[in-house]
Amino acid sequence: MDFYVMSDKAIEAELGSRFKALRLKKNITQQGLAELTMLSLNSIKALEAGRAKLSTIIAVLRALSSLDDLNSFIPEISISPIQLAKMQGKVRERASGYSGTSQVGTTKVDTTKKDSQW
């Protein structure tokens, strides 16, 4: 599935249907999942409609024994030993901004300061 050609709403709907399919695969009702997660039935319905909070997603993945799927969803970023040595053990907290421009998706965004007429 090519998520890049899909709208945000379409991706939300796809994720919601995948949560529903996972729930059905485990043979759990929406009400049963709500009870397992201590969430409301409306929260489960919202999740399956593609409208959920991160805390709801985590609780449902935990209840469905699928937290390991998060590693596939967003893998942990590894740092090479050379890069780690350059950083001298510091943890990166900000983007550096390369040559006054940054990449957003596939569009370059100019982040250089313009001279003010003031």
CATH 3.40.50.300 fits 3-73, yes or no: no
How far is the C-alpha of 7 from the C-alpha of 23, rounded, in Å?
25
pLDDT at 106: 52
pLDDT at 114: 47
Strands in 11-99 per DSSP E = none
Which residues does residue 102 pair with via DSSP β-bridges, in sequence order?
A: 109
Give the pLDDT of the chain (118 residues) as one tens digit per residue.
899 999 999 999 999 999 999 999 999 999 999 999 999 999 999 999 999 999 999 999 999 999 999 999 888 888 777 887 777 767 767 887 775 544 555 555 454 444 444 4
pLDDT at 95: 80
How far is the C-alpha of 43 from the C-alpha of 16, rounded, in Å?
12
User: Are 12 and 51 in contact, with CB atoms under 8 Å apart?
Assistant: yes
User: Are 7 and 15 in contact, with CB atoms under 8 Å apart?
Assistant: no
Side-chain-side CA neighbours of residue 14 (13 Å): 9
Q: Where are the domains of the chain?
A: 3-73
Strands in 1-118 per DSSP E = 101-104, 107-110
pLDDT at 99: 59
State the Cα angle at 83 between 81 and 87, rounded to 5°. 115
